[in-house]
Amino acid sequence: MTKRLMITLVSTLVLLCLCGMCTIGAGEIRIAVCAPITGNYSQYGLSFKNGTQLMAKLVNEAGGINGARIKMEIYDDKNEQKEGVNIAQRLVSDRGVAAVIGHFASGVCLATAPVFQRAGLVLISPTSSHPDFTKQGTYMFRNNVKEDVEGPCSAEFMIKQLKKKNIAIIYVNNDWGVTARDYFMEGVKKFGGKIVASEMFIDGQTKDFSPILTKINAAKAEIIYLAAMYTDSGMIAQQLNRLGYKIDLFGNSSIYNDMLIQLAGKAVEGTYLVASYFDEDPTPVVRNFIANYKKEYGVVPDQYAALAYDTAGLVVEALKICGPDRAKLRDALAGIKDYPGVTGNTTFDENRDAQKGVIILQIQNGKFVFHSRV
C-alpha cells in the first residue's frame, strides 16, 4: 500500500515538474514581483504591481527584449517574513524566473536575502532602506536612497536652512524606523543640532499620539522629524494640531503620498519632506511616465510606483545586455551606469546600492511643492 502510494506520489511530482517546464514559453521572460498585495500594507503592494506591470507593457509594446516578451508575476508576501521566505523558496527552485523584484519592507528583504543569495537569484528591492540589506550578499540590489543619505540630508536642511536647533523625533519601532532614527541623529549631531526628545510608537497599534506629543511640547522642540509611514504621520499631524502645539513637521520620504493630505488636510500644511521623485517634475521622462500611468490606472503614481517602475526598468536594461541567465544578469545589473529613471539617474555603487540625489518638498495649500534640491 505504502509502495503504491509512493509511486503515485513520485509520478505526480514528475508530471508536475514537466508541466512546470511546459509553461516556460520560448519567447517569454518571467520576472517575479513580491509585494504586499493583501493586509495592512496592500496600498504599497498595489503601487509595486502597477509600476512593474506598466514597464512590462511598454517594453512588450516596443517589441520586447530581443523579441522575448516580459511577464511580471505578482506574489503576495503580505509584508510578512514567513510568507516572504515561503515565496522565495518557491521562486529559487523555479528555473523560469530570471530575477525577483521585491519586498516592500526591509525586514522581509533581510529574511529572504539568504535564500536568494544561496540560489544565485537577483533580488532587487525598490524600497528597502535598511543598510544591512545589500550586505547580505552579492545578488542583493537596492533601488532607492538609503537612510544614510536621507537622514543626514534632512538634518542638514533643518539646521542650516530652517535654523532649527531643538529637534524631536517620532519613529516607528521596527527595523526601518530605528535605522532611520539612528542616521538622522548622527546627522543632527554632525550639524550641531540638539535632540530634545526621541519617542517611538508601535506600528499598527498606536493610534493615540497625544502623550508623546505632550511630552515633546514640554521638551520645547521646534521641529519634529517623522520616521513613520504616511498613515501614522497624518494622525500625528492631526493630534498635534488638536493639542494646539506650534511645532513644525519634517517627514521622511515615506510620508510622500497624496493620501497624507487627504487624511490630515490642514494639519499637514507647511510640512517638509524628503523625496527622490516628484510628480510635478517637468523632466520629459517623468511626464511620460505619469501620462502612461494615468492612462493605464487612472491615478497619479506615487513614489513607490515610480521606484517599482524604475526597478523593473533596470532589470529590463540588464536583460537586454545578457538575456535571462541568473548569474550574468547579476553582473549586468551591477554594471549599470546612469540609467535615466523617473527617480533620477541611477548608478549602482560597489555595494549595489543605488546612488541618486534627493529633493526637499513642502506641503502648501494642500499640495506638494518643490522646495529645494539637497
Partner 1 sequence: MLLQQIVNGLTIGTMYSLCAVGYSMVFGILEFVNFAHGSIYTVGAFITLTLVSSGRIGFGVSFLLSMIATGLLGVAIDRFAYYPIRSKRAPKMNLLIGSIGMSIFLQNLAMLIWGSQTRNYPEVLRLGSTRLLGVTISHYQVVIFLLTAFLIVALQTFIKKTKTGKAMRATAQNVDATKLMGVNVNLIVQIVFFIGSALACVAGTLVGMYYQAADPWMGFMPGLKAFTAAVLGGIGVFEGAMVGGLIIGIVETLAAAYIHAGYRDGIAFAVLIIVLLVRPTGLWGKALSRKV
Please, what is the minimum distance in Å from the beta carbon of residue 217 to partner 1?
A: 8
Pick the closer one to partner 1 by CB: 39 or 192.
Answer: 39
d(CA 146, CA 279): 21
**Residue 89, CA distances (Å) to 97, 121, 134, 243, 286 in order:** 12, 11, 19, 49, 36
Please, what is the minimum distance in Å from the beta carbon of residue 49 to partner 1?
A: 14
Pick the closer one to partner 1 by CB: 170 or 358.
Answer: 170
Q: Bridge partners of 194?
A: 166
Pick the closer one to partner 1 by CB: 217 or 276.
Answer: 217
Pick the closer one to partner 1 by CB: 38 or 283.
Answer: 38
Pick the closer one to partner 1 by CB: 217 or 346.
Answer: 217
Give the count of beta carbons closer than 10 Å to the beta carbon of residue 212.
20
Pick the closer one to partner 1 by CB: 207 or 373.
Answer: 207
Pick the closer one to partner 1 by CB: 161 or 210.
Answer: 210
Q: Cell 511630552 appears where?
A: 215
Please, what is the minimum distance in Å from the beta carbon of residue 41 to partner 1?
A: 8
Pick the closer one to partner 1 by CB: 38 or 288.
Answer: 38
Pick the closer one to partner 1 by CB: 196 or 321.
Answer: 196
What are phi and psi for residue 298, nearest 5 degrees?
75, 5
Q: Bridge partners of 123?
A: 100, 140
SS3 content of the chain, % helix, strand, coil (to 5): 50, 20, 30
Q: Which of 202, 184, 160 is nearest to 251 (CA)?
A: 184
Which residues have C-beta within 8 Å of that of residue 116, sequence separation ≥ 6?
88, 91, 92, 100, 122, 123, 137, 139, 140
Q: What is the dihedral of CA 309, 313, 316, 320, to 10 degrees?
A: 160
d(CA 352, CA 135): 9
Please, what is the minimum distance in Å from the beta carbon of residue 252 to partner 1?
A: 17
- Residue numbers at the binding site for partner 1 (CB under 8 A): 38-40, 42-43, 173, 199-202, 204-208, 210-212, 214-215, 218, 231, 234-235, 238-239, 242-244, 259, 262-265
d(CA 313, CA 194): 41
Please, what is the minimum distance in Å from the beta carbon of residue 120 to partner 1?
A: 35
End-to-end, the C-alpha distance of the chain in Å comes to 72
Pick the closer one to partner 1 by CB: 264 or 307.
Answer: 264
Q: Are strands 28-35 and 69-76 parallel, antiparallel or unpaired?
A: parallel
Please, what is the minimum distance in Å from the beta carbon of residue 27 to partner 1?
A: 37
Q: Which of 119, 131, 111, 220 is nearest to 178 (CA)?
A: 131
Helix (H), strand (E) at residue 86: helix 81-92
**Residue 324, CA distances (Å) to 40, 320, 330 in order:** 34, 9, 10
